[in-house]
Every structure is written in structure tokens, then in C-alpha cells.
Chain A
């Protein structure tokens, strides 16, 4: 199983990001091989629809679960289509990617079934 974490910095010790669609990186942890891979978020500078495109970045990496601060309505729609589950860490005082993965393993993160935030504007609403 592959878990991706929305991150500001690379690697397990990197800081988690407080955004999902426009996060700098996604740190992907493979629970079977214990391999850690950091991918750049090519959607972060999109003028519109970053959330949906970010999900595609993760889908292409065969991610099964994402850990994110919050997710918007487009991201949720796309996550469902890519069969990716989202768990949220906003307001939990977590610091690093590793903290987020540990919190997830301990069952502390709540699964997002619906959008937890309104649509953001990005550079323009789309």
C-alpha cells in the first residue's frame, strides 16, 4: 500500500504542507517495501483546478491513501475516480511527514468522505 503525504519538504522528516492541491511535494511511503519517494507536485502552479490535477499526479504514482490537511470538492470527486482514500490532519498539531504517517497508523486521522473546505480560488476560480 502506498501512502502519500502533502509536504513542504522532501523525505520523511520533511514538514507537512497545510495545503493539498498546491502542496510543494508529495512524500510517498510504501508500507510493504518501506521505500520513500518524494514527487514534486506539478499541479501546484496551475491557474485553475489544481486539486483535481494533483490527484492525477498521485493516481499516476499508484497511491492508495493520501494524508492531507483538508480537501476541496474537486479533489474529492477526483480521489473517488482514482480510488484513493483521503485522511485529514488539519488542526492536529502535526509537524513532519513521519508524524502524519504515525498518526494515520494509530488511527488518529479522520477519513474524508466529502469536501472539508469550500472551493478555493487559486489564481482564478475554476
Chain B
């Protein structure tokens, strides 16, 4: 079973929810797909046993075969390949490795080379669950390939918690694609609610069942409750806005370990999800 944890804006508590949830469910693996800035490993403190490189292709043009017809450049949406006077300019880092330029090339002048765009780290956490996280190399444009490869490394029988990237861009879609359930984490502030609405739209578009966890509850106003009520979105749990929780977070600690009274919140979230699937 795969459960994605996501949010509209950053800093609402995806990592807090996904990590606390993972350590309170038996036989879980957590994957952090926020490859631009993974941070679950700060809390779960894994011993990294394996590091895999993730590669992406980019076109190489054989100028002995190329007749500078321009078809590759017309095809590429990202302007990663531009036929010029006597040569073809390739911007490797803009290439999404879609394979289109080679397909439209009438002279078979294009082949693909591989380069590393990031890494996947796998290890056992100090909480006796496994985790994996992807990390994109600085300067790279898209982490989608890394996210897809992290997900491919998961076995079907595992219970997987996916700490997703914030927002609704390609990387979030890649992280959420194919999950059984999504937990939307939001804070009850105007920005939190506004950004959350886009995620609700995305999840509905993708036909993924979801519920809401309100983090930093009682911090802002009531808009989130009204919205959830009007939209028929179930509130799975509320995590209070609480100094002790914030302090533990700041120290890189998972609060449900130290504040036992909150352990129940995460056990409840999981049993509610199970009852729906």
C-alpha cells in the first residue's frame, strides 16, 4: 500500500506527518521524494547502506549524418537542441530525455548519452524502518526521473509512506502517481488554505482518495474548516500548534516518540485510512 503525504505550500508539516506516521506503523518504508531538499533523513537518521546514481539521457548529434534540416529543434519544447550554421547546439541540462529529437531525425544522426542528475540513498533508520531518499544534483532542472526511480525500488508488498514535494508541479505529480491514498497536510492560515486548494484539484483530477491533516491547528483562522466542510473533505487529524512540538522539531526529533500522548494521532490516521481502502 502506498500513502502519499503532500501539501500546497512548503513548511506546513509534510515531513512531521509522514515521519511520525511511518514510525508508528509496523513494516513501513518511508521514501522522501522531495528531491530538491530532502529532509526526512534528518529526523529518521538512517545508516546509509547503498547509494545509486540516477542517470538521464541527452542527445549527441553525428555531424557526418546531420543535414541541418532543423526538425529536432522544431520538435523540442525546451529548446535543448538547436540546429545552427554548421553544427547543432545541445543544452544537456535542458534535455528531458523524451527521445523525440531522435524520432523526428530523418538521417538517424541522433544518439543519446547518459549523465548523472542525482542519487538515491537507501538505509535503515534508527527507528527500525527502512527509508530511501532522492537528491537532485545542483543545477539540474527536473527531479522527476529520480522520483520515478525511487518509487521503482519499492516492493509491492511494502507499506510505503511517500514524503512528497510541495505544490502541484511535475515532481509532485510523479510522487503521487499510483498511490492508494493521499494525506494532505495544511496549516489553518490564508496561504496554507489557498495553496491547498490547488492540491485538492490535482488529487481529484488524478482520482486519488485523500483526507486532511491540519497541522499547527488553532494557529490561524477558521477558513480551512469551512472549506473542508463545503468540499466534503474529511479531516483525519489535527496536530496542535504547540511549543514543545516545535522545540522537538527544531532539534531534529520526532515528537510522537517523546510526547506519547500524540502517538495515538498517527495510529488513528492509519486506521482511518485502512477503513477506507
Binding site for B on A (CB under 8 A): 43, 46-50, 52-53, 55-56, 59, 74, 77-78, 81-83, 124-126
Q: In the assembled complex, how far is the CB of residue A31 from the closest CB belonging to chain B, in whole angstroms?
A: 20
CA gap between A49 and B93 in the complex, in Å: 11
Could you pull out 21 A-B pairs where Cβ atoms are within 8 angstroms? A43-B79, A46-B79, A47-B78, A48-B94, A49-B80, A49-B91, A49-B94, A52-B82, A53-B79, A55-B82, A56-B82, A56-B84, A59-B84, A78-B82, A78-B84, A81-B85, A81-B87, A81-B88, A125-B141, A126-B79, A126-B80
Number of A-B contacts (CB under 8 A): 52
A48 x B85 contact (CB < 8 A) = no
B89 x A52 contact (CB < 8 A) = yes
In this complex, which of B84, B87, B93 has the most chain A Cβ atoms within 10 angstroms of its Cβ? B84
CA gap between A17 and B93 in the complex, in Å: 28
Contact of A124 among B80, B88, B141 (CB under 8 A): B141
Which residues in window 80-103 of B have CB below 8 A to A? 80, 82-89, 91, 93-94
Does B77 touch A at the CB level, under 8 Å?
yes
| New A-B contacts (14) at CB < 8 Å, excluding given A78-B89, A81-B82 | A46-B79, A48-B78, A48-B94, A55-B82, A56-B84, A77-B91, A81-B88, A81-B89, A82-B84, A82-B85, A126-B78, A126-B93, A126-B94, A126-B141
* Interfacial chain A residues near B141, Cβ < 8 Å: 124-126
Does B192 touch A at the CB level, under 8 Å?
no
Nearest first, the 8 A-B pairs at minimum CB distance are A49-B79, A81-B84, A126-B94, A53-B79, A81-B89, A82-B84, A48-B78, A52-B79
Contact of B91 among A74, A82, A124 (CB under 8 A): A74
* Interfacial chain A residues near B79, Cβ < 8 Å: 43, 46, 48-50, 52-53, 126
Does B188 touch A at the CB level, under 8 Å?
no
Does B211 touch A at the CB level, under 8 Å?
no
Which residues in window 58-92 of B have CB below 8 A to A? 73, 77-80, 82-89, 91
